[in-house]
Each structure stands twice: as C-alpha cells, then as structure tokens.
Amino acid sequence: MKTRVISAFAVSALATAGLLSAIAPATAAPAKLKCATGYFCAYEHINFTGAVLVQSRAGRGATVDAPNDRTSSGSNNTGNQWVGVNLRLGIGDDVYKWAPYTDASTIGSANDKIDQFDVK
Ligand SMILES: [Ca+2]
Ligand SMILES: [Ca+2]
C-alpha cells in the first residue's frame, strides 16, 4: 500500500513537470511588444519613454504625421512595415524601418529626425 502511494505521487510529480515544461516555452516564445496589438507607437525618448508621439493603427499605404524631430524609439505591433521618414526640402529620406512586429529601443542616426511615418 505504501509503495502504491509513493508511485502515485511520482506519477503526479512527472505529470506536473510535464505540464510546467509545456507551459514554459509558450510563455518565453513571443516577446511582448511595447505597443498594443495592432498599433504602431513612436516615443519621444529611447527605451519607449517620454511622450507617446504617435499611436496609430493606420493601414498599408497610409502616411502618418509625427511631431517633427522628436522620435527616439518605436514599437511596431502590426503586420505592416513602418518607415520613419525625414523630410528635407520636400524630399523624404527613409531613415529607419520597423519590420512587422518589432521593437526598436533606439534608432541610431535616425534619432530626432523623423517627421512622418509611411506604412508599407
Ligand atoms: Ca527624442
Ligand atoms: Ca526631420
């Protein structure tokens, strides 16, 4: 009777371990993006801090205006590419590109240059 109790416990321990290992990868796999699902967000400072300059769910082909020369990080929680554009004398330079479902805690040389976003 005693061994039966122990083996039942062992089985339940194995089942628990199996359950935990099944849960762990699911929790770790998709990194949670900073911006809400379906939205692109641009932030005033690096690491998604400061003012939220843009929070948009504009679709492909849209142009989204942003406060000039302030964006320092961004989160793209959409299935589209978002391109940060620096407008100079009416000519747009693509200075930073967010692939679908990516965060950028810094944007390098594009820092404080973006004036609008093109959704592609
Ligand atoms: Ca900034
Ligand atoms: Ca600019």
**Confidence at 28, pLDDT banded by 50, 70, 90:** low
**Average of per-residue pLDDT values in the chain:** 85
Q: Where do the domains of the chain lie? A: 1-30, 40-119
Tell how far the Cα of 102 is from the centroid of ligand 1, in angstroms: 19
- What's the gap in Å between 71 CA and the centre of ligand 1? 5
Task: State the pLDDT at residue 89.
Answer: 84
- Residue 56 vs residues 9, 67, 74, 112: alpha-carbon distances, Å: 53, 14, 12, 19
Determine contact, residues 55/115, Cβ cutoff 8 Å. Answer: no
Q: Which CATH number fits domain 40-119: 3.30.70.1350, 2.60.20.10, 1.10.3720.10, 1.25.40.10?
A: 2.60.20.10
Contact 9, 15 (CB under 8 A): no
pLDDT digits (tens, 9 = 90+) for 29-41: 566 999 999 999 9
Comparison of pLDDT for 90 and 95, the residue scoring more: 95
CA of 114 to the centre of ligand 1 (A): 10
Cα–Cα distance, 99 to 109 (Å, whole number) = 17
User: What's residue 4's pLDDT?
Assistant: 54
Is the model's pLDDT at 18 over the cut of 80? no
Find the ligand nearest to 73 CA: 1
91-113 pLDDT, tens digit per residue, is 899 999 999 999 999 999 999 99
pLDDT (tens digit per residue) in 67-88: 999 999 999 999 999 999 999 8
Residue 97 buriedness (CB in 10 A; 0-12 / 13-18 / 19+): middle
Contact 41, 82 (CB under 8 A): no
